[in-house]
């Protein structure tokens, strides 16, 4: 690791610490439970499953970096949301295809306290048993995405599922020291890695994971092996963007602003700029795990910039 990337990692680790430990509960003080939204991806059934959410202050260091707080607040307020903080939802995605029951990320489990970890209740509402999940696709190894893989008792939460993640991300996760893991919101790295190791199926960037159904899409910057996923084909296909974007306001409208959560902040910003351009040009459907529930919509070019337009689901 060179000095620059090491310094970048330190910045990212200290920032993610606030993601894990400085986050405040949503106003009710607990995750909304059992919240689901069904929709279609071509012929597949899909369900957005709420896991809860997190808040980050707009303080110049917890999330957006390198911009005056007042300037960031002005962008937030212009979008009709409070200027003093960011509200980020967490909603893993479930997709059914043939005999495959596929879950994209697993929420925070027991790692983030009462404001998140509601995925099991949402699955119950959706009528889906964790034991029936066949495939899990992990975007990256932060606590709010892998926490749901393990139960409070230290058992596999999805005992029959293969766990797909990029080889680089598995190397990152399985090599974490406990203190580094805590800094990315994982409180029991040894237990997590030993529970999931037999089920992890590492892949290379861009791999066709289920041909014609799920394809890995490398989106660099957030973590060493961060991956999005293309689900389905044709105009109904959905791009699951993981944590390449967090705020439906600033990540989309100011993609070049650096973000404290990114391990490589320069590359993370470049990836957001590219994603805005790609998504607006193609008109493809986007699923954003941290945008307002249910996180489905499009990125549209408007007045020389980009905006998030949620899909109206009937």
Site residues, Zn ion (CB under 5 A) = 144, 243
Q: How far is the CB of 243 from Zn ion (least distance, A)?
A: 4
Beta-bridged to residue 225, according to DSSP, are: none
* Residue 289 Cβ vs Zn ion, minimum distance, rounded to whole Å: 6
Q: Which is nearer to Zn ion, 50 or 213 (CB)?
A: 50
Q: Are 117 and 135 in contact (CB under 8 A)?
A: no
Task: Kindly tell me which of 44 and 294 has the beta carbon lying closer to Zn ion.
Answer: 294
Minimum gap (Å) between residue 201 Cβ and Zn ion: 22
Q: What's the min distance (Å) between Cβ of 89 and Zn ion?
A: 10
Q: ω into residue 294 within 30 of 0, thus cis? A: yes
In the bound complex, what is the minimum distance in angstroms from residue 233's beta carbon to Zn ion? 27
Which sign does the torsion angle of CA 20, 25, 26, 29 carry? positive
Task: Give the alpha-carbon dihedral of 52, 141, 166, 95, to 10 degrees.
Answer: -10
Catalogue the E-assigned strands of the chain: 36-41, 44-49, 52-57, 64-65, 85-90, 93-97, 100-104, 135-137, 162-166, 200-203, 208-210, 214-218, 227-231, 238-240, 258-259, 285-287, 296-302, 305-310
Nearest CB to Zn ion, comparing residues 91 and 121: 91
**Residue 47 C-alpha from the chain's centroid:** 15
Please, which residue, 56 or 188, has the CB nearer to Zn ion?
Answer: 56
DSSP 168-196: HHHHHHHT--HHHHHHTT-S-HHHHHHHH
Q: How far is the CB of 246 from Zn ion (least distance, A)?
A: 7
Q: Tell me whether residue 144 or residue 230 sits nearer to Zn ion (CB atom).
A: 144
Q: Which is nearer to Zn ion, 97 or 170 (CB)?
A: 170
Name the residue nearer to Zn ion (CB basis): 92 or 130.
92
Q: How far apart are CA 95 and CA 238, in angstroms?
A: 11
* Alpha carbons 144 and 139: distance in angstroms, whole number: 11
Shortest distance, position 123 Cβ to Zn ion, whole Å = 19
């Amino acid at each position: 690791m060179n000095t620059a990337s090491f310094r970048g990692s330190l910045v990212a680790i200290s920032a993610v610490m606030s993601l894990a430990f400085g986050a405040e509960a949503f106003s009710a003080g607990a995750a909304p439970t059992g919240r689901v939204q069904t929709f279609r991806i071509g012929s597949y059934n899909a369900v957005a499953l709420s896991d809860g959410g997190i808040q980050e202050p707009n303080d110049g260091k917890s999330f957006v970096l390198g911009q005056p707080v007042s300037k960031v607040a002005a962008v937030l307020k212009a979008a009709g949301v409070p200027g003093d903080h960011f509200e980020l939802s967490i909603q893993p995605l479930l997709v059914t295809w043939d005999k495959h029951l596929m879950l994209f990320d697993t929420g925070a489990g027991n790692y983030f306290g009462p404001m998140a970890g509601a995925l099991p209740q949402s699955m119950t509402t959706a009528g889906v048993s964790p034991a029936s999940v066949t495939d899990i696709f992990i975007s990256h190894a932060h606590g709010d995405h892998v926490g749901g893989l393990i139960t409070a008792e230290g058992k596999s939460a999805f005992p029959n599922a293969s766990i797909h993640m990029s080889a680089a991300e598995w190397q990152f996760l399985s090599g974490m020291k406990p203190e580094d893991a805590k800094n990315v919101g994982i409180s029991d790295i040894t237990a997590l890695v030993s529970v999931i190791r037999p089920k992890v199926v590492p892949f290379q960037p861009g791999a066709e994971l289920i041909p014609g159904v799920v394809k890995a899409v490398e989106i660099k910057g957030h973590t060493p092996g961060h991956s999005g996923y293309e689900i389905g084909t044709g105009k109904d296909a959905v791009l699951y963007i993981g944590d390449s974007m967090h705020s439906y306001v600033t990540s989309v409208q100011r993609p070049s602003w650096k973000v404290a959560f990114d391990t490589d902040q320069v590359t993370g910003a470049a990836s957001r700029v590219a994603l805005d351009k790609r998504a607006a040009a193609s008109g493809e459907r986007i699923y954003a795990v941290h945008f307002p529930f249910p996180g489905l919509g499009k990125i549209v070019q408007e007045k020389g910039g980009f905006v998030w337009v949620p899909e109206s689901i009937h």
